[in-house]
Amino acid sequence: MAYGTSVIQRDLNFAINEGDIFVIMGGSGCGKSTLLKHMLGLFKPSSGDILYDGASFFQASDSERGAMRQRWGITYQSGGLFSAMTLAENITLPLELYTRYTPAEIAEIVAYKLALVGLAGYQSYYPSEISGGMQKRAALARAIALDPQILFFDEPSAGLDPISSRLLDELIVQIKESMGATVVIVTHELPSIFAIANNSVYLDNISHTMIAYGNPADLRDHSDEPVVRQFLTRSATAANEDKP
């Protein structure tokens, strides 16, 4: 991944298994969100490829890429809701664009998705009329409108208090299990990482490559890389213990 001649990350090679809750982690400026944007097809790798079910995203035709994207659900750090639309209208939009459901069927689906995220009865509310945590949940309801196979999250807990963050983590797990989806999350929140993730990759901003891959708890306890153990324990000890 590069911006012009400036390499952000190189030699990335990892797999996300079906059903994983997979975390992209690393220090500030290492390229976590940039990697997510590459995975979403917003940026093209300077070298290499990204495969979904063994099929190249960037070598696929426009129609094939569109079909891939319809199997994804995405939430953004800010929530990304359309402020001039009610919650119902936000969730209705992808259903109107990509399905042939009748208005009555769409209204039923919208009510169901809002109920799944704990927002039953909030169809007529605008984003500005609800709390930040509720906005995150409404964004999740929109992300699951089309029953996606993969859910992508960019810093889902950003700006939330610890209780709201924990409740959102629990909701992500519940949605993942009920839908059988795979989840990919960019985050640096340790409570979230250890509470829900079973797989991860660590991007290093010094060597500009991945230096760890696997279960976060295993990496915390057994990684050969001191900087990874430091990150996952928030301790300076791990980074210094190998120094003379």
CB-based burial, 99-124: b 16+ in 10 Å, e otherwise: eeeeeeebeebbbebbebbebeebbe
Domain shared by 137 and 45, yes or no? no
Domain shared by 154 and 236, yes or no? yes
Domain limit, last residue, from 147, 165, 192: 147
Domain shared by 165 and 49, yes or no? yes
C-alpha to C-alpha distance for 244 and 233, rounded to whole angstroms: 21
> In angstroms, how far is CA 185 from the centroid of its own chain?
3
Domain shared by 103 and 138, yes or no? yes
Domain shared by 17 and 104, yes or no? no
| Residue 65, helix vs strand vs coil | helix
Confidence of residue 242 (pLDDT cuts 50, 70, 90): very low
Residue 230 lies in a domain: yes
Domain shared by 11 and 44, yes or no? yes
Q: Among 82-86, 125-129, 137-141, 157-161, which stretch is predicted with the lowest mean pLDDT?
A: 157-161
Domain shared by 50 and 131, yes or no? no
Residue 208 lies in a domain: yes
Residue 7 lies in a domain: yes
Q: Please tell me the predicted confidence (pLDDT) of residue 80.
A: 85
CA distances from 62 to 3, 42, 69, 71, 146 (A): 24, 13, 11, 15, 20
Looking at the structure of the chain, the number of domains it has is: 2
Domain shared by 140 and 210, yes or no? no
Domain shared by 161 and 45, yes or no? yes
Domain shared by 155 and 141, yes or no? no
Domain limit, last residue, from 105, 130, 147: 147
C-alpha to C-alpha distance for 169 and 183, rounded to whole angstroms: 12
- Identity at 180, one-letter amino acid code: G
Instruction: Identify the domain containing residue 220 by its residue range.
Output: 2-71+150-240
pLDDT digits (tens, 9 = 90+) for 20-75: 999 999 988 899 999 999 999 999 999 999 999 999 999 999 999 999 999 999 99
Residue 180 lies in a domain: yes
Residue 77 lies in a domain: no
Confidence of residue 235 (pLDDT cuts 50, 70, 90): low
Tell me the percentage of the chain whose pLDDT exceeds 90: 82
Domain shared by 62 and 158, yes or no? yes
Domain limit, last residue, from 102, 126, 147: 147
